[in-house]
Structure 1
């Protein structure tokens, strides 16, 4: 301090003022502050103002207090800005001036001063400007100002919609108060009913997520629509998604989807801008226009949307709506990759590896390949560069360290095809079952419809969702393809949820249950027998491959061009291999389940259990509707379980051919050992005039092994062999 150091003078003043290491002396403290302040120390300027205001070490002088507050405020001290605002408001050391008071409160508030924010709230409340008042009160609450919270609560109780919305926001997000989703819903609902569009959007979220209220998709859509019509860009985007994907209650409508995405995009919603680019690129709901696609991708990318940044890179790379520019493609891939988008990370690695838009850089290529892999990325590009210096790599399969590693190596050895998610468009929800969600999408690369299956997390999954996904994928790989089995075409990764999808053949007539409902009157007995035979033939293939389906029912049989195919191997297992299942416990549709397992979950599921299910399906084909169709409640199903276990079965439909009825009755015999084998069943169909089995490839030699083997022993077919053309 003696050498003129301003900071030291300030600290010395604090020591004298508070008696730290020296006898307390306010006069000496004042003198130190004055020296530091006159030498330009901003904090000392503010403290000197306090000294003059409170008479600390000097005679009280409000004019000088004002002058020092002003110096400190002009130099950026936010506390001084607050105090200067108070001076102008109250006429302390200066003539009252509300305009200047407001100016300095605003300065301090913008720097996060909660007291200034509260003062601004008071000012705007007195001016009857509810929106600005609530805005500043909210900021003050978020910075811990209790008086501001009480103000918001009071305004909410008085019926101010913006305050009601903010109060709901506080309760939902635990801002200054304990989280209470019921109160959050209550205040959102109040505000929404009073016309607050942000509250209407959040109320839609509550109904969609089940926050503070029971889930209700119809009500969620209702409030999203009201908010969207009132101009809320988030609600407009959500409506676009609703119409794009379709639901059970809201049909898919690409024109409406485009309309809402456009409204949201024009308000700078970057996800909507990205979607709009996608719609123009593929001509969804509007004429294809690559220039407009590029425009909207660019808007979204500049608004920091990582998916759009990747898409913009693709535009520059592939001359979509713009001239080819590898340097710009590289730059946008890099921006997207740095935000963690795995497709872009792969692209960036390839750019560094091959010197595309950038100098070759092996180290950076390895780095980005590794980043993508660590992010559970599936990539078609071989990771040869990453593994180049390794002398030995284990085959993918049971020896892999974890599920992610298994997928990585399955792709590396080209046992599984990666289908880029952006190639799957126009998704429509088809069915949600106990284990997964099924949707139909259009695969742009092949001009074919495909089925996308996303697994659901359930309590009966043995390990985790990814393990369950891999289990089903392994079963598909093991089955080696038969015309009676729905084939897996590959996998994809949803970039928004980071969840894997199984991509499978699409059957143009849907599942057997709905097929019978829509076509039963036109089916002859010959048609019905043919369907039953085809299912039996598929089951024969499974059993020859030592696979137990374990969940055979009419929703897991699909019809394509009047031919039946078996699907859904989520809970299937390899016979005599207790480890080849991803699920534990008792599960299935009661009417089709092995009777012995209904009351005894430990009873083993064998081939005869699949035969029982097949017998029930045969009856369903004869009747045109599911078994025990009137048993809809939980209590009905519980009673049905006991009845089936005691021998109850459906009654034979009049005019059913004797040989057909006799066969399914033998299949659903109460005692598993009394049921026919699948070969016996096929022999019976042969006697009925059906005996041409589907063409299959040579069975795999080691049916109990689900490892992928070496790179040279590729068990998969070319992707072009896997499609069902619709």
Structure 2
């Protein structure tokens, strides 16, 4: 492109990263979290699956994904080449991106089991439109071709950012992938335009992304997955015939501006691609709707963040605490330890009692603080503690708390009479 200077993307390797943790997987590969030692920050690494086994296509197409920047498009720091901390794995390639700690819109809808509060829902709709409008106005335009709730990520403030844009060209065709793996890619199939399902000679366009955006709006408004439970082959057959997600689930009288958003949604998924609006038209409409609810945004975000934090502790409801019968025979336990045992010191003023080998010195003093060693035990585990509150996560688990008689330390006096001591003082 004349007048534009393209710099080669930065290549980031394992010698700059540590603490690899797998956090998810998508249609294009696995996703890891790692810490960049020189930058001092956590990043996300998306490994890419490609059929030719080479990295040439990634290097060639990655330049399209580094043009400019937009607050509603995921930021890409560079290319990744490495083994994600495992020397026995083959060399792999991918992208190093900013980490989005609150997951995806799909995960949010699943956690809430309902649509987000209206101010947040309308902001999501607007931010997604802004991000897509930016991608479509690059030179050349960058099509997404797989826009869906899983590919919209959320930061700590629940701002929406688009990810996986352009990866269909880097890795493999989304439409072809969906045809090969209908059962695995049912979600992607639900967001594909009818023209992509009608002909193998389908040529993607901006209108393809607009259709997916319309279905995505329906998911945000209803909090549901389109065609949930339907057989993928039936979905493939019915969408080209004009079937769309159920609009009767939406009560437009619930809040101001919702009817306008529903009308925009219907225009976006029009059967005729030429009648669908551009993303600039979408942004102009969603901006006006969002402004009606902007005052309630802070409270809406705060409410959802509290629900997300509460979801972490939701498994506490399944914890059962019972006293262990005295005559119970404890089954043999096989400890399965991988790598070095993690250590966790107890808080000041508390003591953890753990199983120890007999001390070679009977008169050895017990240290005031001990270290709890954790092991992974198939089939369950036992924890004995004193003066602590124990919490166990998981389903169908139980915690046995054994009350043991208090024992006087051998160096302590047999009896303490505070009244006599007070009389002896001058």
Give the TM-score normalised by structure 2. Answer: 0.58
SS at match of 1:659: helix
Q: Quick check: 1:475–1:569 contact (8 Å CA) kept in 2?
A: no
Cross-structure match for 1:628: 227
SS at match of 1:688: helix
SS at match of 1:547: coil
- Counterpart of 2:59 (choices 447, 465, 470) is 470
1:18-51 alpha-carbon deviations (Å, 9 max, x no partner): xxxxxxxxxxxxxxxxxxxxxxxxxxxxxxxxxx
Shift of 1:501: 2.9
Shift of 1:553: 1.2
Q: Distance in 2 between matches of 1:571 and 1:500?
A: 13
Q: Distance in 1 between matches of 2:287 and 2:127?
A: 12
Q: Distance in 1 between matches of 2:62 and 2:279?
A: 25
Q: Quick check: 2:36–2:42 contact (8 Å CA) kept in 1?
A: yes
Q: Quick check: 2:191–2:212 contact (8 Å CA) kept in 1?
A: yes
Cross-structure match for 2:218: 619
- Counterpart of 2:278 (choices 667, 673, 677) is 677
Q: Quick check: 1:471–1:570 contact (8 Å CA) kept in 2?
A: no
The 3 A distance-change label for structure 1 pair 447 and 625 is farther
Cross-structure match for 1:608: 207
The 3 A distance-change label for structure 1 pair 434 and 689 is closer
Q: Quick check: 1:475–1:572 contact (8 Å CA) kept in 2?
A: no
SS at match of 2:131: helix
Q: Quick check: 1:586–1:597 contact (8 Å CA) kept in 2?
A: no
Q: Quick check: 1:557–1:565 contact (8 Å CA) kept in 2?
A: yes
The yes-or-no answer on 1:597 pairing with 2:196 is yes
SS at match of 2:210: helix
Cross-structure match for 2:72: 484
Shift of 1:520: 5.7
Cross-structure match for 2:154: 559
Q: Quick check: 2:268–2:276 contact (8 Å CA) kept in 1?
A: yes
Q: Distance in 2 between matches of 1:616 and 1:568?
A: 18
- Counterpart of 2:121 (choices 518, 528, 535) is 528
Q: Quick check: 1:510–1:558 contact (8 Å CA) kept in 2?
A: yes
- Counterpart of 1:645 (choices 237, 240, 259) is 240
SS at match of 1:548: coil
- The gaps in structure 2 that reach 5 residues or longer are 179-187, 253-257, 293-426
1:549-601 alpha-carbon deviations (Å, 9 max, x no partner): 1111111111112110011135456xxxxxxx663562451101111111312
The 3 A distance-change label for structure 1 pair 465 and 669 is farther
Query: Cα RMSD over matched residues?
Result: 2.5
Q: Distance in 2 between matches of 1:646 and 1:488?
A: 39
Question: Within 5 A, what are the aligned runs for 1:3-152?
Answer: none
SS at match of 1:453: strand
Q: Distance in 2 between matches of 1:465 and 1:554?
A: 30
Shift of 1:662: 1.0
Cross-structure match for 1:506: 99
The 3 A distance-change label for structure 1 pair 650 and 525 is same
Q: Distance in 2 between matches of 1:509 and 1:521?
A: 17
The 3 A distance-change label for structure 1 pair 414 and 664 is closer
The 3 A distance-change label for structure 1 pair 522 and 681 is closer
Question: Within 5 A, what are the aligned runs for 1:184-223?
Answer: none
The 3 A distance-change label for structure 1 pair 587 and 528 is same
Cross-structure match for 1:300: none
Q: Distance in 1 between matches of 2:131 and 2:165?
A: 13
Q: Distance in 2 between matches of 1:629 and 1:444?
A: 43
Shift of 1:450: 0.9
What is the aligned length?
265
Higher relative contact order (CA 8 A, sep 6+): 2
Shift of 1:482: 1.0
More helix per residue: 1
Cross-structure match for 2:143: 548
Larger Rg: 1
The 3 A distance-change label for structure 1 pair 521 and 648 is closer
- Counterpart of 1:419 (choices 12, 21, 26) is 12
Q: Distance in 1 between matches of 2:20 and 2:273?
A: 42
Q: Distance in 2 between matches of 1:604 and 1:641?
A: 17
1:643-680 alpha-carbon deviations (Å, 9 max, x no partner): 11111111123334211111111111111011111121
Cross-structure match for 1:437: 30
- The gaps in structure 1 that reach 5 residues or longer are 1-396, 398-409, 574-580, 692-726
Cross-structure match for 1:668: 269
The 3 A distance-change label for structure 1 pair 570 and 674 is closer
Shift of 1:445: 2.4
Shift of 1:640: 0.7
Q: Quick check: 1:455–1:465 contact (8 Å CA) kept in 2?
A: no
Shift of 1:446: 2.4
1:371-428 alpha-carbon deviations (Å, 9 max, x no partner): xxxxxxxxxxxxxxxxxxxxxxxxxx9xxxxxxxxxxxx9xx9632233313322222
Shift of 1:690: 4.5
Cross-structure match for 2:176: 586
The 3 A distance-change label for structure 1 pair 465 and 557 is farther
Q: Distance in 2 between matches of 1:415 and 1:565?
A: 24
Give the TM-score normalised by structure 1. Answer: 0.35
Q: Distance in 2 between matches of 1:449 and 1:475?
A: 24
